[in-house]
Structure 1
């Protein structure tokens, strides 16, 4: 091929040059989106965006740095993919409540396998609404109250092991493994009626596989990185990029455990009072209920299986981490620890701990709430609009990944006085009503609030 009658180039080279030029123009256009919208952002690396900085410094560090420079709304690029980071409670209120009908979808950074697409954590639109609508009744106060006997058995074991460790290690010991084993016992017992004995078995397979399950390292998987940086490729070749997120053998372990339990429950007439049975019952009942759109779908077998696995591992990690943070803060602030102990002794004394008397302990609630503020289980809450929308003067295009950064929101000085100080008094009865509920999002909020949160003390 001749160019201007002077230079002759082979067609294959022309094709390559044209492709490179097209990629450059496309990348420039994609990475100029926030500039066109008037949203501040940092200087990005061509093709990679802010991805390298995110791997090196972490999303939270970069977000806090940009918040200090640009305020409560700014943009980041993962490759060509733009993400709008939001920490303005007024905008958050629209996303979570006022305009939530347009924000039911979640950003998908990777091409998920069919197994994961059935999980409430990843489902979008009508699928998410249906799963949540069916699961929510499983977390009423009455049904959670029925789980108390399972909790007592696990707590008795934990108490015995705790006393043993204190006696054997008077100078101190690492309580994190103990808490994680206790939490696994509680989750499996209360949710699935399953006694895994994680606290008394140091080589317990549930603990081993849960660690592998939670070990997500995108930098070690080339296909993972490619689809994060170039989502268009994943959309063009979904089967090639389909991901299970974690090690297959870890998923298979929890899938097989859940399948075995699920099959037994379908055949059993026993009156179980755990989460799995509540999901199975909800599925049967939902099939016969009418909604405005006709028969409600209920939960399919695959949806029950997937949500069993995600709840088993997800609840284990977030619950254990929160308990450890509470213990950490109490160790640092022993004056507050004594107030906590005094209240427990006054309210409970020799009585058996129950779902109801937990709610009588105000200071326990205050400590839990402040711990969740300073150490939220989820530091990012993602939503995606199904249409172009403008909120509080900010234009958000259809399909834009919107990330609510709780580790910024929870430390905004205009809402939290001296935010880096652990102070449970923020959540005292006289102060709690003054808190902007959209500046406190430990477990999501609004219509997307975590199932069961309304029935919990915090």
Structure 2
């Protein structure tokens, strides 16, 4: 009895101990924040903590049903930066510090300061802890720094080629055409699976780009039916890859917290979590087999393909011994191990799938709310495509569709899947200069360049900075006979527009995502349109406003995405011009 009472007493003190420890850490970090000299705002929860990442959506959802929680939701919903945009910096200043129990976060909402930080790569390094979730298969391009990062980066730079982008363009056209047929002919109407369908689209394009495997588009319900028909023991390399990577991306936080083996072996975890453990192993086995196949092809002198596995393996093959290692070969080329290749391929899949799928979902929702912009891009698409047969559309067409590029720019400006560029001061105090003042930021402080603020500041983007208007990026030609040819758009990476970052940090797969998104738009909007399905008693104009609002109602899970995409009901139809 005494032992039971003692145990209960110990358990009852744990919450109190946790609260006291949290307050102690918060007080310590607040003292560090004061030393910087920037305005301070306090959060009682560390936003990057794994437990908060898992449970915050549920906690915030419950809070929405309670009174007097508006301020809590505004501050603690993950991805609040995307919802508040420039307004938080308008309230606290272009630079301010968020103090939490787990550390301090200096928020940057000024272009000059952001540019200065990005250029000082040796002082403001990457916050590797923030990317640790991507270490499922070991270190990779996203989770390394210094010389190790340069080794991965050099290989990545020669992995993403124009031939690979051309492959992506063709596959995106094909998959988008099949997705359109699904929406028009087979899907339940109204369509409420926008986010799910764009993810399947992107997974299929990735399968082609990474492995040269081409798969038909199928809706979520069709996928489930196929799996039931095939049986649990049936293995199809095509859908095996797609289903494994989809499971990993969906369950990446539990994978980070528990690890592959514990997820597989712990009977007490939910079955969906156990499935994630097996998916990690299946993806490794699948990629390993493809790497081995490619090495045999190299040994036999076979011609290379344009897919990423081929490019990455050939970039890493040691010319002197024909083996993969971590040293530099006699030719001075940077080499990766097989495990590092698998890890980099996973990061390419992660970066190339969810970011593109989410962006396409944003684009389609915005276009549904703006029918005149649909007509505007369709006019251009029809000008450059003489036939509706997408297999006849050359890759050079991709660069000509400037209005489609403008739609992509504008959507990423307002609704970027990655809402922060995360840096860290490292082991030393770093200085930041702003408007004539010098601020000393302590060691091991996270510095976040706030993209939603920078991309919506009225001082730079004008009074309509919160409006979705792709035409802002297109400059018409003057006195030209071919107005489409004479229209111009700005570069895709500048110091004030960097959806794919810029400088040494520019995304190596930039052209990959651009070809995929522009290809999708070209195939979808040449001869078709999409519109919201009004709710009872709602006009079409009101439905468009509602869809726009919902498309920009963003919450951060692992990335920033629409909070309730299933609430957007759409209808696709063909137009005759």
TM range (shorter): 0.7 to 0.9
TM-aligned CA distance change 1:190 to 1:283, over 3 Å: same
Partner of 1:173: 191
Aligned counterparts of 2:364 and 2:145: Cα–Cα separation in 1: 36
For the residues of structure 2 that align with 1:429 and 1:286, how far apart are their CA atoms?
A: 49
Deviation for aligned residue 1:135: 0.8
Per the alignment, residue 349 of structure 1 pairs with 386
Whether the aligned pair in 2 keeps the contact of 1:187 and 1:316 (CA below 8 Å) is yes
Given that residues 286 and 298 in structure 1 are in contact (C-alpha distance below 8 angstroms), is that contact kept between their aligned partners in structure 2? no
Match of 1:255 in 2: 284
How big is the shift at 1:83?
Answer: 1.6
Displacement of 1:160 in angstroms is 4.0
Write out per-residue CA displacement over residues 376-429 of structure 1, whole angstroms, 9 at most, x where no aligned residue.
121122112344321223323333211112122211111112111111122114
1:426 to 463, 472, 496: 472
The alpha-carbon distance between structure 1 residues 196 and 256, as it changes in their structure 2 partners (threshold 3 A), is: farther
Determine if contact 1:381/1:403 at 8 Å carries over to the other structure.
yes
Q: Is 1:60 aligned to 2:97, yes or no?
A: no
After the TM superposition, which residues 347-386 of structure 1 pair with which residues of structure 2 at under 5 Å, given as runs? 347-350=384-387, 352-386=392-426
- Tell me the equivalent position of 2:334: 297
2:502 maps to what in 1? Answer: 445
- Go from structure 1 to structure 2 and tell me whether the alpha carbon gap of 1:95 and 1:442 turns closer, same or farther (over 3 Å shift): same
Q: 1:317 aligns with which of 354, 358, 368?
A: 354
Contact 2:175 / 2:205 at 8 angstroms: preserved in 1? no
Residue 340 of structure 1 and its aligned partner are, at CA, apart by 0.6
CA contact (8 A) 2:424 2:447 kept: yes
Q: Residues 15-70 of structure 1: CA distance to partner in whole angstroms, max 9, x if unpaired?
A: xxxxx99997665323321111112222344xx56779993432432684642321
1:283 aligns with 2:305: no
Please tell me whether residue 39 in structure 1 is matched to residue 68 in structure 2. no
Within the candidate set 201, 213, 224, 1:182 is matched to: 201
Unpaired runs of at least 5, structure 1: 1-19, 225-243
In angstroms, what is the RMSD of aligned CA positions? 3.8
* Residue ranges of structure 2 left out of the alignment (5+ in a row): 1-18, 61-72, 225-238, 259-272, 322-326, 477-487, 519-577
Name the CA shift for 1:426/1:434 in 2 (closer, same or farther; >3 Å): farther
Corresponding residue of 2:451: 406
Contact kept? 1:82, 1:400, Cα under 8 Å: yes
Aligned to 1:389, which of 423, 426, 430?
A: 430
- The answer to whether the aligner puts 1:333 opposite 2:365 as a matched pair is no
Q: Is the 8 A contact 1:105 1:125 kept in 2?
A: no
Check whether the contact 1:366–1:424 (CA below 8 A) recurs between aligned residues: yes
**Per-residue displacement from partner, 1:344-389 (whole Å, max 9, x unpaired)?**
0001222722221111121111111111111112112211234432
Q: Distance in 2 between matches of 1:416 and 1:84?
A: 23
TM-score (norm 1): 0.77
* Alpha-carbon separation, structure 1, partners of 2:277 and 2:102: 29
State the number of aligned residues.
Answer: 412
Choose which of 140, 152, 155 in structure 1 pairs with 2:170. Answer: 152
Q: Secondary structure at the match of 1:378?
A: coil
